[in-house]
A and B are shown apart, each in its own frame.
Chain A
Amino acid sequence: MYRDMIGRKSEKVKNVVERGHVRRFAEAIGDLHPIYVNEQTGENSRFGRNIAPPTFPRVFDYGTVEGLNLPKKGLIHGEQNYHYERPLLVDEEIYCYTEVEDYYEKSGSNGLMGFLVVKRYGEDARGNVVFTEEMITIITEAVRKAMNV
């Protein structure tokens, strides 16, 4: 049951904000701005280097929360919230982990809907939080029944 998972965390995983990946990601969202991809623009900026788009943390590895099994199909992405202390810098190392923040259920037109709130953290090498990401996933009754949870 998801409620038992509240408070559980994954181990931290080291990620790198890879230049090539930032370019591919920026292209995929139609935002090939020079601040993301042009080294000269990055060097001349206040950051002294290129930065990554705000939704880039989607690509990081946050490790796995032991015992948390989510269906591969049938999930609905309800909400996504980012908080930043500063922009992500190209080539920097970011240490990521995830925590199950909450789980609750509500009755809706499709039966009892489960809401899983997962919070993800990205820290610099000194352990300062650079960003957090909160994701609310909706799990429909049909999917939960199929999974026996």
Chain B
Amino acid sequence: MKNLTRLHTGESLDDVTLEPVIRMDLIKYSGASADFNPIHTIDEEAKKAGLPGIIAHGMWTMGNLAKLFTPYYEEGFIEDYQIRFSGMVFLDDVLTLKAEVEEHTDSYLDFRVWTVNQKGKVVIKGKVRFSTYD
């Protein structure tokens, strides 16, 4: 594991590629988050909403992306986490989580964070300010 506070601008955390998205992932997230919008779990409801199939909760993807930082909980914490949802995630999609240092100061590191699917399309993107402990 890298030592986060030693990362320089332009350096990245190790990418994490998730297993292909399955319906059970989204059923579990629906239950855990109490977001039971059926476009995330039921094919007919997704089609009624004009979608080709069920789509992942944006917050599921955002939750996954944050785990790049979890191993560094002794060095600091996520002070700001800003995400724009830019693309839909479908079943069988293979997502890769990414984070790159944009700025490094004495008190925080700013990361550009994003998630791409197997076609290289960005599905969510944003910023993390990781505040470091003294």
Please, what's the 1-or-0 string for A50-81, where 1 marks a CB less than 8 Å from any CB in chain B? Answer: 01011100110000000000001110111111
Give Cα A79 to B67, complex, Å. Answer: 19
Q: How far is the CB of B24 from chain A (nearest CB, A)?
A: 10
Select A31's contact among B35, B64, B83, beta carbons within 8 Å: B64
Per the CB 8 Å criterion, the residue count for chain A at the interface is 34
Give Cα A33 to B84, complex, Å. Answer: 25
Contact: B58 with A77, CB < 8 Å?
Answer: yes
Chain A residues touching B, majority SS: mixed
Q: How large is the interface on B (under 10, 10 to 19, 20 to 34, 35 or more residues)?
A: 20 to 34
Contact: A73 with B32, CB < 8 Å?
Answer: no
Contact: B32 with A46, CB < 8 Å?
Answer: no
Please, what's the 1-or-0 string for B67-102, where 1 marks a CB less than 8 Å from any CB in chain A? Answer: 100110110011111111100000000000000000
Q: How far is the CB of A142 from chain B (nearest CB, A)?
A: 10
Give Cα A25 to B29, complex, Å. Answer: 7
Q: CB-CB < 8 A to B77: which residues of A?
A: 84, 86-87
Closest B residue by C-beta to A84: B79
Closest B residue by C-beta to A44: B74
Contact: A29 with B63, CB < 8 Å?
Answer: yes
Give Cα A86 to B81, complex, Å. Answer: 13
Give Cα A31 to B60, complex, Å. Answer: 11
Contact: B67 with A84, CB < 8 Å?
Answer: no
A35, CB-defined interface residue at 8 Å: yes
Q: CB-CB < 8 A to B133: which residues of A?
A: 46
Contact: B31 with A81, CB < 8 Å?
Answer: no
Q: CB-CB < 8 A to A127: which residues of B?
A: none
Select B31's contact among A28, A54, A85, beta carbons within 8 Å: A28
Beyond A77-B59, A80-B59, A80-B62, list 6 extra A-B contacts (CB 8 Å). Answer: A25-B33, A55-B59, A79-B82, A82-B78, A82-B80, A84-B80
